[in-house]
Amino acid sequence: MTQGLLVLWIVSSLAIVFETRTYRLIIYFSIFSLITSVAYFLLGSPDVAMAEAAIAAFASIFFIICIEKYYSRKENVEKDSAKGESLARKAVKAVPALVLCVGLFFLVIYFIPGIEPSHYLKHLYLQRFMTDVGGENAVTAIYLGYRVYDTLFEALILVIAVVAVTHMSYSEKTQVADGSHSEIETSRVAALSLRIICPIIVAFGAYLIINGHISAGGGFQGGLALATFFICRYMVYDIYDISVKNVLQWEEFIFAIIIVVTAIAVFLGAATYMPAAIVPIYQSVYLIIMNLLIGLKVACAFFVLFYRYITIERE
């Protein structure tokens, strides 16, 4: 049943490759990432599927930001270079992509299961993670225990990206007390629906973060859900009163706390100095605190990115 989905996946990626009009590309990309996340889900990596589904929603918003910036800088851009191409050249362009896709498809289905892998690392991680790191989710154990350096650098990269976006789309107005209303405000059905949805989003995001070390989920996914709440809050109540600069400072502060917590918990090797009875509680507390901090940081980051879009929209 997964093979049928992979065929749809290849078809949608080919549609992305051969489309030249920008707006259609955004919609095709959304379809592609939906199918990608279902493929992740069926192939057995639920955490990645959850992150992909949340990213798919945000990626389309960020594409819109880029298009707005591009077309507002260059008003009269005419770029349809691909229209004059003959059919033969299109076919020549199509052949390598087709060969690559079909080759990858057969590679995935037939050849990769045939290779006999070494199970050393699998045994090392999957059988010992409960005593080493704690929790019941092996993915959380890996990204907060064995690979905590990677997590630190990913957090650093998100901070750098947000700072770069804030400075490249710099505007004098960091906050607007009142002004033109968003378009959704005029429709009462939409406002009512979003008011019902908002509390559910916050509750679900908190559930994902706090439950992250037991079931699938975690800091990143819960943080994206919280950022979705901020978007809904903007759309319903039309509040634009939070200063971007302050949120950015909060995000950097939380990043510093993450580094300190990691240093205290991991580098001191607390499990070796503690009585054995306290260790599981300590491990759970560590996992929950790290998930909470990462979730807050991701929520702050996407909040800043989204408010940049609002500033561009209102100018």
Give residues in contact with other proteins (CB under 8 A): 1, 4-5, 8, 11-12, 15, 21, 23-24, 26-28, 30-31, 34, 37-38, 41-42, 46, 49-50, 53-54, 56-61, 64, 71, 183-184, 187, 189-190, 193-194, 196-197, 200-201, 204, 208, 215-217, 221, 224-225, 228, 231-232, 235
Strands (E), the chain: none
In angstroms, what is the minimal distance from the CB of 64 to other proteins? 5
Identify the burial level of 120 via C-beta atoms within 10 angstroms of its C-beta, where 0-12 means exposed, 13-18 middle and 19 or more buried: exposed
Identify which of residues 255 and 309 has a Cβ nearer to other proteins in the complex: 309
Decide if 147 contacts 134 (C-beta within 8 A): no
Write out the DSSP string of 142-210: IIIIITHHHHHHHHHHHHHHHHHHHHHT--S-S--SS-SPPGGGG-HHHHHHHHHHHHHHHHHHHHHHH
In angstroms, what is the minimal distance from the CB of 274 to other proteins? 31
Identify the burial level of 144 via C-beta atoms within 10 angstroms of its C-beta, where 0-12 means exposed, 13-18 middle and 19 or more buried: buried
Identify which of residues 221 and 262 has a Cβ nearer to other proteins in the complex: 221
The single-letter DSSP state of residue 78 is -
In angstroms, what is the minimal distance from the CB of 183 to other proteins? 5
Identify which of residues 77 and 277 has a Cβ nearer to other proteins in the complex: 77
Cα angle 164, 170, 172; round to 5: 150
Identify which of residues 177 and 189 has a Cβ nearer to other proteins in the complex: 189
CA–CA separation, 170 and 63 (whole Å) = 18
In angstroms, what is the minimal distance from the CB of 35 to other proteins? 8
In angstroms, what is the minimal distance from the CB of 6 to other proteins? 11
Identify which of residues 26 and 289 has a Cβ nearer to other proteins in the complex: 26
CA–CA separation, 97 and 18 (whole Å) = 10
Identify which of residues 129 and 230 has a Cβ nearer to other proteins in the complex: 230
Identify which of residues 28 and 255 has a Cβ nearer to other proteins in the complex: 28
In angstroms, what is the minimal distance from the CB of 276 to other proteins? 30
In angstroms, what is the minimal distance from the CB of 162 to other proteins? 19
Decide if 294 contacts 222 (C-beta within 8 A): no
* Helix axis angle, 219-237 to 279-314, nearest 10°: 40
In angstroms, what is the minimal distance from the CB of 41 to other proteins? 6
Identify which of residues 38 and 142 has a Cβ nearer to other proteins in the complex: 38
- Give, in order, the Cα–Cα distances in Å from 181 to each of 51, 107, 236: 31, 53, 10
Task: Indicate the residue type of 284.
Answer: S
